[in-house]
Each structure stands twice: as structure tokens, then as C-alpha cells.
């Protein structure tokens, strides 16, 4: 997973990709149980942290599609620009013993971003769902300036 997303260390929240195709990705995560989860606050992991899990699934989807295409495009940075239609079905993620299933489905390629629908569940329990737009920008490599 670490090679598919821009995060490192404990901020890499996803464990694996279970499946993906041109429009969808399903990832598995167990990091909601870890005490060193960087999104914990006062020894709790809010369901709101699930949005970052979804964003990482979207990033992994983009990386896998680029690899599959054989001609990976220039790396692009992204950030969550818009959240809509968010539904919380619980208060916390860390109270569920099952691994998290993180699903993201591409709804549209936008001129400067991507629109995805996402959901998180544990077992048969839906925890969070909604839509997000990721704003993309080209990553410009740092160039050393001569002194």
C-alpha cells in the first residue's frame, strides 16, 4: 500500500487492496485498532477520520490505474476539496472489532479533479458514506538553485 499513496509510516491507514477495476476500489484496513493511529484524539478514533481512509483509497485507485495503463502520468498531488452528502452511521471507528472495508467508486473525471462516492463498513455495519471531490495539481519537482 505504501507505494500507492503519498503517506508514510502510521499515516498509511490501509492494509491492502481487495479488488479494483476502472471505476471501483475496495480496500481493507485494521489501523482503526492501533493506539498509534495518528488520527486518534483523546484515545478515540472519530468516524470523521473515515474520510481520510476514503481519500487514501481514491489515491490508491489512481495509482493502480496509472500502473495498469503502462504509461504512468506525471505524479499529481491532491487534496480533498469538497465533501457532500455525508452520512455518519456511528460516532467512532475504533469500537468495531472487524477490519474496515473502504469502497470508492469514481463518478466523474473533472477538469481539475476527481469525483468519487465512498463508503466504510465493518462486517455488515455501514459506518460512513458520502461523496468527495479531490482537487488535483501537477507536482513540480524541486530544482536546486545554484548559489
- 32 vs 21: CA distance, rounded Å: 26
pTM: 0.88
Strand partners for 86: none
Domains of the chain: 9-138 (3.10.129.10)
Sequence-distant (6+) residues with CB within 8 A of 28 are: 14, 15, 16, 17, 18, 99, 100, 101, 102
Q: Is 19 exposed, middle or buried (0-12, 13-18, 19+ CB in 10 A)?
A: exposed
Provide the pLDDT for residue 145. Answer: 47
Q: What cell numbers appear for 146 in the block?
A: 545554484
Provide the pLDDT for residue 72. Answer: 47
At residue 3 the predicted structure's pLDDT band, cuts being 50, 70 and 90, is: confident
Greater confidence (111 vs 121) lies with: 121
Mean pLDDT of the chain: 89
Amino acid at each position: 500500500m505504501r507505494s500507492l499513496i503519498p503517506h508514510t509510516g502510521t499515516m498509511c491507514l490501509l492494509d491492502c487492496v481487495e479488488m479494483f477495476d476502472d471505476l471501483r476500489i475496495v480496500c481493507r484496513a485494521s489501523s482503526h485498532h492501533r493506539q498509534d493511529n495518528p488520527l486518534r484524539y483523546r484515545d478515540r478514533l472519530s468516524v470523521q477520520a473515515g474520510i481520510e481512509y476514503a481519500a487514501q483509497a481514491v489515491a490508491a485507485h489512481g495509482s493502480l490505474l496509472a500502473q495498469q495503463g503502462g504509461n504512468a502520468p506525471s505524479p499529481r498531488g491532491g487534496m480533498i476539496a469538497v465533501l457532500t452528502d455525508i452520512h455518519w452511521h456511528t460516532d467512532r471507528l475504533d469500537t468495531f472489532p472487524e477490519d474496515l472495508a473502504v469502497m470508492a467508486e469514481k463518478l466523474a473525471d473533472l477538469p481539475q479533479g476527481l469525483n468519487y462516492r465512498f463508503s466504510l463498513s465493518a462486517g455488515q455495519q455501514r459506518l460512513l458514506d458520502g461523496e468527495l471531490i479531490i482537487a488535483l495539481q501537477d507536482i513540480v519537482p524541486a530544482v536546486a538553485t545554484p548559489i
